[in-house]
Amino acid sequence: MKVSKEKAAENKAVLIRTAARLFREHGIDGVGVAEIARSAGLTHGALYAHFPSKEALVAAALADGMARNQERLEAGRNGAPLELASLLESYLSGERRDNLAVGCTIAASASEIGRQDEHTSACFSVGFEEMTRLVEATLVQDLPAGAARQRALAITAAMIGGIAVARGAAKARPELSDEILAAVRRQLLELGLARPA
């Protein structure tokens, strides 16, 4: 039975969002196409009608997940400039740490990307660059040329690493996990607000 263009587009969106959630929860290599299709309420044949390979689905899911990350990080500003303190508070939170299904796609997939194909790596890099630009916009404005980008790269990488390490410690040592989040927030805020020497 042939589906309408609208239904096909809806099915594709459901597959992408389902894959993104499952990849965050179980890792890219921890979930197969049959499980993704089943969780989306579709057949794996329907999945392959939209994506020629799992790698193509991974790239689409990464791009979608990273776009949603940006939306969540920028949400609630009502046009006001994003402040570093609120960005760090939101990103390095217990809620984000504990909820993999809606957490940061970059943090959830960072350790796996090196084992994926070049296209997937490119999608990851685009998402990281977008997050870095968002961080850079929150930094003090009187940094020398190039210094703001370098600082933003360091802060972004530390945010991602901080949330990943806090997740790793959360089950066995929740107090250590909370301490990691607080320390990373505090140190990155100091770095972000530091005036040039």
| pLDDT tens, residue by residue, 116-133 | 989 999 999 999 999 999
* Distance, first Cα to last Cα, the chain: 68
pLDDT at residue 5, as a whole number = 87
pLDDT at residue 75, as a whole number = 72
Residue 3 has pLDDT above 80, yes or no: no
Summarised one tens digit per residue, pLDDT across range 143-153 is 887 999 999 99
pLDDT at residue 58, as a whole number = 93
Residue 4 has pLDDT above 90, yes or no: no
Q: At 171, is the pLDDT very low, low, confident or very high (cuts 50, 70, 90)?
A: very high
DSSP codes joined into one string, 151-168: HHHHHHHHHHHHHHHHHH
pLDDT at residue 77, as a whole number = 64
**With contact defined as beta carbons under 8 Å apart, do 41 and 103 qualify?**
no
pLDDT at residue 79, as a whole number = 64
Cα separation values, 21 from 11, 77, 132, 167, 186, Å: 15, 25, 23, 17, 29
pLDDT at residue 143, as a whole number = 86
Residue 17 has pLDDT above 90, yes or no: yes
> pTM, whole model, 2 decimals?
0.86
Residue 22 has pLDDT above 90, yes or no: yes
What is the residue-averaged pLDDT of the chain?
Answer: 90
- Within its chain, how far is the Cα of 67 from the centroid? 8
What structural domains does the chain harbor?
Answer: 5-193 (1.10.357.10)
pLDDT at residue 76, as a whole number = 61
Residue 2 has pLDDT above 80, yes or no: no
* Percent residues over pLDDT 70 in the chain: 96
Summarised one tens digit per residue, pLDDT across range 66-95 is 888 888 777 766 666 779 999 999 999 999
Angle subtended at Cα 122 by Cα 141 and Cα 16, rounded to the nearest 5 degrees: 105
More confident residue, 3 or 186: 186
Q: At 160, is the pLDDT very low, low, confident or very high (cuts 50, 70, 90)?
A: very high
